[in-house]
Amino acid sequence: MISSFKEDKEKQKSTAVDRESIHQADTLARSQAPSPPDGGILAWLQVLGAFFFVFNTWGLANAFGVFQTYYTTVLLTTSAPSTISWVGSIQGFLLLFVGILTGRAFDAGYFFHLATIGTFLEVFGMMMTSLATEYYQVFLAQGLVVGIGSGFLFTPAISLVGTYFVKKRALATGIAATGSSLGGIIYPIVIRELVPRVGFGWAVRAMAFLMLGTLLIGIALLRPRLPPRKSGLVVELAAFKDTVYASFVIGLTFALLAFFVPFFYADTYALNLGTDVDLSFYVLTIMNAGGVVGRLLPNAMADYFGNLNVLIPCIIISAVVVFTWISVTTTPSLIAVSFFYSFVSGGIVALPPAILVFLSPSLAHVGTRAGMAFSIGSLGVLIGSPIAGAILKNQSDLNAEGQVIVGRADYSGVLALTGTALAISAICMTYTRYAKKGVALVKI
């Protein structure tokens, strides 16, 4: 027994030595890697590749509002809006939550494995959605399968861009992030234009083929720059001992809780105002158009003024816009306020990846730190829209089946929830900046 105990101790020591050797080898390899080029054809091709990944992940999530309207009014009329919104919430939740695994796998050198699996799952999930006729089928295909596929693609792609840039990191990330707005513009148009012509099934299949083509272009362009980091934990709990990182993650969670809510309910809000059905479908498209500039301008400014210095005003102004939204009673006002919300809230999507690179102790930890932050932030995405749907149901007139009656819905509670969550996020982000640099007027 004593000899067995000694053998176990020797094995533990040997394992510890092996882990330390791997860690030292990782550290040496990373230290010898060339500095980020911060420009050049190869670096900007990575931005283009990541753009296509974001187009088909976050952009697809931004487009869920058009599905929310179609499911509520045509395909799933027996399901409540809050129930239907769980599909989009699960999709957005998994897009970010899966990052806790894919971020670490990216650091370990498995980018192309992740990209291949993610592409298959996204395309397969949308193909299955095109065949769905029941709520559970839509939930499984579009919510779970597409959501998991999105998670395999988003965090690795956005983390990869950060390893190619230093001074232009925020701008590069912002350009990649515009894919979310373009996806939110194009995919609703695809659904709106093709459904009357070929039906819902083939409209969604057309989306799936477009996704496949653009994702394959992304895979062809993206090239990891740093050597794999084989050592290290999937979850580095010690990171949360850093109050700067922890407060940022909390602020990000509240921001993401609020961010998607206006996108999910903009179309139905328009119908509630009596907007023409055709125009109401394009409210989401117009809204996402504002996000294109809203993801570029803040990031361009961030390279000069600092990422947090730009993100905090973006969140504060977004909260003000949402509270103003409560008083909107006409279609022109809705179009204006929704466009402006997407414009000013663009930084919520575009700036955090660059900030997480800054808050990481080294580039070797970017994937892991970003994955943890997005995974926790995904909880906000998960509960935000369903809570909003429940509030909407409680504050609106219902028919005999318990559905919200269009034209007699009260969105004030939904908008109050969104604005309050953004205000809390602004407080947390302000504390993050204070804890990092105090009140000094410096770039951060």
Residue 4 falls within a domain, yes or no?
no
Predicted local distance difference test score (pLDDT) of residue 66: 85
Residue 11 falls within a domain, yes or no?
no
Residue 133 falls within a domain, yes or no?
yes
Rounded to whole angstroms, the Cα distance separating 148 from 125 reads: 9
Rounded to whole angstroms, the Cα distance separating 384 from 255 reads: 10
Rounded to whole angstroms, the Cα distance separating 280 from 414 reads: 19
Predicted local distance difference test score (pLDDT) of residue 281: 72
At residue 15 the predicted structure's pLDDT band, cuts being 50, 70 and 90, is very low
Amino acid letter, 33: A
Give the helix ranges, DSSP H, for 306-395: 307-325, 331-350, 352-359, 366-394
How much is the average pLDDT of 61-79?
86
- Compare 73 and 203 and report the one with higher pLDDT: 203
Nearest alpha carbon to residue 335 among 273, 377, 292: 273
Give the count of beta carbons closer than 10 Å to the beta carbon of residue 6. Answer: 10
Residue 248 falls within a domain, yes or no?
yes
Predicted local distance difference test score (pLDDT) of residue 96: 86
Predicted local distance difference test score (pLDDT) of residue 277: 75
Residue 411 main-chain phi, psi, to 5 deg: -95, 5
The first and second tokens of residue 249, run together, are: 């993650």
Per-residue model confidence as pLDDT tens digits over 229-249: 776 666 777 778 888 899 999
Predicted local distance difference test score (pLDDT) of residue 233: 66
Amino acid letter, 105: A
Predicted local distance difference test score (pLDDT) of residue 19: 46
Per-residue model confidence as pLDDT tens digits over 364-406: 666 777 778 888 998 998 888 888 888 888 877 676 566 677 6
The answer to which of 59-68, 157-166, 227-236, 367-376 has the lowest mean pLDDT is 227-236
Residue 104 falls within a domain, yes or no?
yes
pLDDT of 168 strictly over 70 = yes
On average, the pLDDT of the chain sits at: 85
The answer to which of 134-143, 211-220, 330-339 has the lowest mean pLDDT is 330-339
User: pTM (2 decimals)?
Assistant: 0.79
Within 8 A by CB and 6+ apart from 145, the residues are 121, 122, 124, 125, 128
Q: What is the CATH number of the domain that holds 189?
A: 1.20.1250.20
Using CA atoms, how far residue 158 sits from 64, 85, 128, 264, in Å, is: 21, 26, 27, 24
Residue 20 falls within a domain, yes or no?
no
The residues that bridge with 404 in the sheet, in sequence order, are: 398
How much is the average pLDDT of 166-173?
84
Q: Give me the domain span that covers residue 155.
A: 36-437
Total structural domains within the chain: 1
At residue 169 the predicted structure's pLDDT band, cuts being 50, 70 and 90, is confident
Query: What is the Cβ-side half-sphere exposure of residue 56, based on CA atoms within 13 angstroms?
Result: 35
Residue 134 falls within a domain, yes or no?
yes
pLDDT of 20 strictly over 50 = no
pLDDT of 255 strictly over 90 = yes
Residue 30 falls within a domain, yes or no?
no
Say if CB 200 and CB 70 are below 8 A apart: yes
pLDDT of 128 strictly over 50 = yes
At residue 17 the predicted structure's pLDDT band, cuts being 50, 70 and 90, is very low
Predicted local distance difference test score (pLDDT) of residue 231: 66
Say if CB 313 and CB 425 are below 8 A apart: no
Say if CB 274 and CB 408 are below 8 A apart: no
- Sign of the torsion formed by the C-alpha atoms of 111, 113, 118 and 119: positive
Give the count of beta carbons closer than 10 Å to the beta carbon of residue 18. Answer: 11
Instruction: Quickly tell me which residue has 């510890």 as its tokens.
Output: 16
